[in-house]
Amino acid sequence: MTQRFQDPHTDVVVVCGLRPAAPRAFVAWESSGTDLYLQSAASETLDLAITSHLAQGFVLVTGDPLRVSLPLVSGLRVHVTGNDIRIADTDGNPVLEATAPMPEGWHETARRKLRCALFTGTDLRLASGPLDGLQAATQAGRLVGAAALVSITPIPARAR
């Protein structure tokens, strides 16, 4: 089960869903803008999106993204209020701020386990439909993932 959203004011595509492995609730995102690369001292081409997330504690996903075990990254927190998602580092600097619809059961699952899975990378094809792009990105070494602590703030009934 997934819900997809492309913010018309940014170049970010966000997909929220539930997967069979723990943590079940997940958020996947990618920038639909220009990918940035850097040449390393060893003449390797480095994907800056992948490299920066690896430095934050994400791991390169090498198995099925919907079933892979992910390490808990201590430097990020996920805050969800209704459909508003904010992923921030420990200093409060935003990694992602978006509004995305969530499938039924997403909030309850994340609230019960206090964790969610995070996936990001390059050329994930999130805007194009099924999550097949995650598997293709895994095979190409373009998908990183981690688990993060999540807090859910309920929206008061009168504000809905």
In the prediction, which pLDDT does 95 show?
Answer: 85
Cα–Cα distance for residue pair 105/107, rounded to 1 Å: 6
pLDDT of residue 10: 53
From the list 119, 99, 98, the residue with the least C-alpha distance to 53 is: 119
What pTM was estimated for this model as a whole? Answer: 0.83
Q: How many domains are there within the chain?
A: 1
Amino acid type, 138: T
* Mean pLDDT per 10-residue segment, the chain (160 residues): 46 88 94 52 56 84 94 94 91 87 92 94 81 88 93 71
pLDDT of residue 159: 52
Range of the domain at 31: 2-159
Instruction: Please tell me the number of Cα atoms within 13 Å of 10 on its side-chain side.
Output: 14
pLDDT of 80 reads: 95
